Amino acid sequence: MKDLAGGIDAGLLSTITVRRVQFLIAMDGDAEVANGISIPSALAASLAGRSLDFNATSFDSDLSALIDRLKGDSRLSSSYRAGMQIPSAATARAIAEQAEALARGVLVETPSSSVVPARELRKYVLRVPDTSLVPYSGRSTLLSAAYPRGLRPALGAGISVVSGTPATGLRLRVVTSRGIAVPAPRYSDGVSSRSAGVLLNESINGAPSWTTVTLNSASAEAGPLIVLKAADGSALSGRPTPTDASGSDGARNLDESLQPRSPEFDQRGLDPAGITEGDAGTVWICDRRGPFLVQTDDQGRSLQRIGPAGNAGSLPDVARRLPALLESRQPALGCGGLVRRPTSGEILFALGAALNVNGRTAVSAPLVRLVAFDPRTGNVRQYALRIRSTESGFRVQDLAPIGDDRLLALVRFREGGANGPERWEIRTVDLSGANDISNRSLTSGPNAGLALEFGTLAEMEASGVTPATTSTIVELGALGWIAGSVEGLARADPRTLIVIGQMNGGVSSRVNGGDPALSVAEHQVDRNGVITPRASGGAVAPVFELLPSAFESRQTVIWSIELRNAVD
């Protein structure tokens, strides 16, 4: 597409290219981009005498009017007309970028505008060997048809540069999440109702793992999966820890029929959120649940597992050396990423979001905590990463090291409120002036004596807290990123940043016949498999289904961003 006339503008895929893709997808014979675009022969007569100017400022309304006319043209089949839809410009851009990357190995863009902080963007689709695909034998014919060779592993939960990586052929260590997991309706057993998910770990390839990705000028290639293991060498699973045990948020683990799995829980279950290189060839991983820190050898075998002290039930092989307050993490947001401080050797991790102390501070807290753990001494320090008043749903997705007191943070939030536009920013974080907040609480205001999370930003700072300073260097959406989940960040050199999306194996879920105004997780299922509520006036009981994600969200996407200005 980029080689057509006007395909590139100011070094980037042009608006004309995006509009061409929108038009072609809208004309596709079966409205399924995954199998290619095929234009029905009958369309020629319907389009005779009509024109569409891809340069026109009125293009959006012109294309919409054209589709409306075609939908009323009885010369075209009713099924074709019913399936016609126009993708958004952002979706069309993502599909075009991935198509170029798949065809060429990489899409290279060179923004000419000095306003754009990047001088080169290299956009890849990760190639995964067939031996790493996850066999699927479940009940979803839609998944079986879309992925006949197997599902892609859920790589992208965290990323780091492999120690000793060569100057050419950058080597990256990329960790999966707990596996391919999708939301399910809340599960009611007649006594309580709890959030639930379906974990599609059908084989060892679906277990928590890492791989080494080689990134070069022409491709991004994943190596074999290294399955994460317990100290005895047995593979770890992605199943949740038992209800009321450390790391549990009470969520249930269901199968595709929405019945509790057997076994449902695992005391050593792991849900990785970040990965970083340790000393002496070891690797550190942080977990979304506990939060837990896990140190492994270079073959993924666990050397130690560290979790928070507190009131939740103990787990075997977990040393409870982190602050008890961390048990107030929000569900699945225990850790958002970690780094090793190069001089001190401390492992520094970020909570995935603000703590929800006593169930009251998830939305209002002015800070996310950064926690530094010294493996040699066991000492722990904490720092404050401020949340701006305009940032709703603030999340830390990953961290990358610069130096002992400087790091990069990949963050996500909605600007201006819960309904505002979503932003994915890469920020520098400077800890050189920040102080340890481990033993600090509010000293003034109506919540004096309580945890810092109960205060305002002003009250927190009046209580003697000096937060880390931050500065935004890249906003990924402005560069064309639309993937719903960008979770990994690495710094290859002072000018080059790497980001990766976590696409969950290209799998999603839906409640067919449920209330269309509600998400899957807002429905409920009882122990007899009855899902409520159903669509208003619906005669057929709702059915839970697994299906492929939208086409633009099926591939694992990696970007290499060469900045105009070095970050050091």
Question: pLDDT at position 3, please?
Answer: 66
Going by C-alpha positions, the residue among 116, 160, 98, 165 that lies closest to residue 553 is 98
What is the per-residue burial (b if ≥16 Cβ within 10 Å, else e) of 105-136?
Answer: bbbbbebeeeebbbbbbbbbbbbbeeebbbeb
Helix (H) or strand (E) holding 93: helix 89-104
- From the number of C-beta atoms within 10 Å of its C-beta (0-12, 13-18, 19+), residue 335 rates as buried
Question: pLDDT at position 33, please?
Answer: 87
Question: pLDDT at position 313, please?
Answer: 92
Q: What are the mean pLDDT values of the chain's consecutive 10-residue runs (568 residues total)?
A: 74 93 92 86 91 95 95 92 93 93 94 94 96 94 95 97 80 97 96 95 88 95 97 94 93 96 94 96 96 97 96 93 97 97 96 98 97 97 96 97 97 94 96 97 96 97 97 93 86 96 95 96 96 88 95 94 95
Q: List C-alpha distances in Å: 407 to 87, 394, 404, 459.
A: 38, 18, 8, 26
Pairing of strands 283-287, 272-277: antiparallel
pLDDT tens for each residue of 504-543:
999 999 999 999 999 999 999 999 999 999 998 777 899 9
* Token reading at 8: 């590139």
For every residue of 23-77, which 3-state class applies, written as one string? HHHHHCCCCCHHHCCCCCCCHHHHHCCCCCCCCCCCHHHHHHHHHHHHHCCCCCC
How far is the C-alpha of 315 from the C-alpha of 307, rounded, in Å?
9
Question: pLDDT at position 305, please?
Answer: 97
pLDDT tens for each residue of 533-547:
999 877 789 999 999
Q: What is the DSSP string of 189-210?
A: -SS-EEEEEEE---SGGGSSEE
Question: pLDDT at position 215, please?
Answer: 95
How far is the C-alpha of 283 from the C-alpha of 298, rounded, in Å?
7
Residue ranges and CATH numbers for the domains of the chain are 1-117 (no CATH), 118-509+547-562 (2.120.10)
Q: Where are the alpha helices (DSSP H) in 403-476?
A: 457-462
pTM over 0.85: yes
pLDDT tens for each residue of 181-205:
999 999 999 999 999 999 997 788 8
How far is the C-alpha of 472 from the C-alpha of 451, rounded, in Å?
28
Pairing of strands 193-199, 252-254: parallel
Question: pLDDT at position 415, please?
Answer: 95
How far is the C-alpha of 259 from the C-alpha of 253, rounded, in Å?
8
Question: pLDDT at position 108, please?
Answer: 95
